[in-house]
Structure 1
C-alpha cells in the first residue's frame, strides 16, 4: 500500500510518501510555490501529483494550516492535532506524552494519555511565540538559525510580548554593545518565556517537540528544566505529513479487515 501525506504549512508544504510502513520519500516546497506551480482551483484545490512527483498513491491524506486551504481534491482531510499526534505514534511508539508543536504561525500543546488526546492549548494569534519570530530575529542579528540555536547562557533581557517591539529591543541591545552570544541567548530565552504560559498545566514527565523549533538546542535546554524527559523527533518538520500517512495506513488496514 502506497500512502501520500501532505502537510500544508503557513511557510512550507511538507510531502511524505510511505510504502510498506516505511517512509520512502519526503521533501518540502514553499507554500507559495506549491499553490502557484503545482495546483489548480476548480471549486476545490487540485494538486498535480505527476508534476509533484508523487502519483499513484493508494491513500491520500492532507492536513495543514488554514481550514479553507486544506480541502484538496481526492484527499481525505484530518485536523492538525490528529496528524501530529499520529506522527508521534509512528516516530516514537509512545502513547503517553505532552506534544509541543511550534509552527511558523501557530503553537499547539497536546496531552496524550493511553493514545488519546485528553487536553490541549492553542496559540494562533501572536507571532512572538512562533517559528517566524526566531527567523526574524536571526535576520536582525545576521546569523543563521542553526547558529542562533546554540546559545543559552547569560541572555540579554527582551521583555516585550510583541514580536515587532522585541526587534526594537534587540536593536537597542546591539547598539549598547551586547555580545552576539548574549543576544542570541536572549532571543531563545524570550521564546521560551512565551511558550511557558502555554505549557504551565502540562509540565511533567515527558515532552515531545515537533516543528522547526525542535532543532533549537537552547530552547530544548530551557525546557529540560520543566520536564524529566524532552524528546526531539527524528523528523520534527515532517511530523504532520508522516502522521497523515500513518493515520491512512491504520484506517486502510482496518477497512481491509472488515
Structure 2
C-alpha cells in the first residue's frame, strides 16, 4: 500500500514541536511516526536559516525524511513563512489536533502553552468562539517554570501538589515571584506553596471559562502534564477534563491533519 508522509511543525515561543505522520493511500487514516520537541532558540540556531524572506529548515540534520506535505503553525508562523510548506492559523491547528486525538466534536479547548493561553469553543467540529491571551505569561508554562525555580523544585514534582494551597494574589508573573518568596519567608510548607502556584494558574483561567458552556474540557499544551492543575481545573469547573495522549504536540498534530486534508482534497 502506498503511503504519504506529512510533517507538522508548531513554531512555539518556548519550543518547536514536530510531528511526523503517515497517511495510507486511499484512506484518511493517520498514524504518528515521530514526535519531537526542540528548544526554539536551538531550533533556529541549528536547523533553520532565513533565505529570501522564508525559513528554510534542514530536515536532514533533524533526521527527518523527505515528506509529501509540510504544514506549520504557531507563534513563529507570524514571523517567518516556512519554505516549501503551507501555513495555517494556530487556533484551527489546535482544534484539528484535539478532534483527532480525542474523537470529540463538541468541547471547549483549554490550551496552556509556554507563554500564552487559548480557550476555544467547538461545536459539531467547528470553532464558534475563542479567547486568547499572549500578553502575559501569568497563566502559562513559563509561569510554572519560574515558580518551580523559586521553590527549587522540579516541574514534575510541582505538578503533584494540589492540597491546601497557599493563597497567591499577584496577577503578574514577575511580581508573583516576589509574593512567593514572601510566603517562603513566612514559613509555609513547600507542598502548600507548590499547591498555591498551581491553584493560581487555575484561578486565572476560571473566569474566562464562564462564558463557554459545555460539559467537556479538552486540556492541551505543556501545562496539561501538570496533574495538580488538571485536578484543580476539574474541581473548579465541575466539568469532565479530557487530556489527549500528546497534549504538548496538539498543534503539530493538527498541522498533520490539515496536511492530510490538503492531500485528499478535503481542506
* 1:234 and 2:213 are equivalent in the alignment: no
**1:1-258 equivalences in 2 (<5 Å):** 1-20=4-23, 21-42=30-51, 43-225=53-235, 226-254=237-265
C-alpha distance in 2, partners of 1:73/1:87?
23
Do the aligned residues in 2 keep the contact of 1:64 with 1:70 (CA within 8 Å)?
Answer: no
- Per-residue CA deviations over 1:100-150 (Å, capped at 9, x if unaligned) read 001111111000000000000011111111110000000000111111111
C-alpha distance in 1, partners of 2:145/2:213?
27
C-alpha distance in 2, partners of 1:217/1:26?
22
User: Normalising by the residue count of structure 1, what TM-score does the alignment of the two structures yield?
Assistant: 0.96
The more displaced of 214-223 and 8-17 is: 214-223
C-alpha distance in 1, partners of 2:121/2:38?
30
Structure 1 residue 22: deviation in Å? 0.3
Structure 2 residue ranges without an equivalent (≥5):
24-29
Do the aligned residues in 2 keep the contact of 1:203 with 1:227 (CA within 8 Å)?
Answer: no
Structure 1 residue ranges without an equivalent (≥5):
none
Q: Which runs of 4+ in 1 moved over 2 A?
A: 66-70
C-alpha distance in 2, partners of 1:204/1:170?
34
- Per-residue CA deviations over 1:176-215 (Å, capped at 9, x if unaligned) read 1110110001101111111122212114300001001111
C-alpha distance in 2, partners of 1:59/1:199?
36
Structure 1 residue 63: deviation in Å? 0.5
C-alpha distance in 1, partners of 2:59/2:134?
30
User: Normalising by the residue count of structure 2, what TM-score does the alignment of the two structures yield?
Assistant: 0.92
C-alpha distance in 2, partners of 1:216/1:62?
26
C-alpha distance in 2, partners of 1:227/1:170?
28
C-alpha distance in 2, partners of 1:38/1:213?
26
Distance change >3 Å, CA 67–CA 5, structure 1 → 2 = closer
